[in-house]
Amino acid sequence: MTEVMTMALQVKDVMSREAVAVREDTPVSRVIWTLRYFGAGAVPVLDAGRRVAGVVSEDDVLMREWAPGSPSGSTAAAIMTRPALTVHMDTPLREAAGLMHDHRIRELPVVDAESGQMLGTLRRSDLLKVFARSRTAITTEIREQVLPAQLGPDAAQVVATVRPSRVVALHGRVPPHASMDALVRAVRAVEGVVDVMVDVKPGLTQDPQPAQP
């Protein structure tokens, strides 16, 4: 029987643990300074419990100044967009990238799934780091280091193909003594790998030799 598994890169693997944010009572003038100083397209707004209450983007500031009927006020809370679009540490990187693309944003607050407190930021530049390593380098490391370490002399029975998306597809036969979970984790740990797709068959065991009389 063929065994199919996947293991995707998650937000926690590339996110920045340091984040820029403002409080709900931060004056708009200070919010504008923060956006300009840090070169950010948006800044999260935190409530008293350090939970992300909303986000103030460059568009929010511009609309406040120039668009009639737009939210007005002197603090971040008065002009922020709510609820904020956020992701969790274990959100698949593909899903986070899709959110950025669909909503045309450059960064996403990363929040704790239970408390809602801010843990960091995921930026487009963080996503681009995944693609900085060449497919050839990734393939070489998997073929020459990972597969021999996990499969021993049977390493040649598995072929690793690195797609342009940095998804690694594994095909072939895995010997009975090998751990599939360990193999997937090892490939997944290679720098530059976004996802691992496994389509393999278990290797054949040798028939036991008859006992000598």
pTM, 2 dp = 0.66
Interacting residues of 169 by C-beta distance below 8 A, sequence separation 6+: 160, 161, 163, 197, 198, 199
C-alpha separations of 110 from 10, 38, 88, 123 in Å: 12, 18, 5, 10
Pair of tokens at residue 29? 């003038």
> How would CATH label the architecture of 11-68+75-130?
Roll (3.10)
pLDDT at res. 7: 54
* Residues of the chain predicted below pLDDT 50: 1-6, 205-213
Q: Which residues contact 163 (CB under 8 A, 6 or more apart)?
A: 135, 169
Q: Tell me the domain boundaries of the chain.
A: 11-68+75-130, 132-202
**What is the pLDDT, as a whole number, of residue 175?**
83
CATH topology of domain 132-202: Histidine-containing Protein; Chain: A; (3.30.1340)
- Can you give the pLDDT at residue 94? 82
- In degrees rounded to 5, what are phi and psi of residue 26? -65, 130
User: What is the predicted pLDDT for the residue at 203?
Assistant: 62
Q: Are 87 and 52 within 8 A, CB to CB?
A: no
pLDDT digits (tens, 9 = 90+) for 63-74: 876 666 556 678
Q: Are 127 and 14 in contact (CB under 8 A)?
A: yes
pLDDT of residue 205: 45
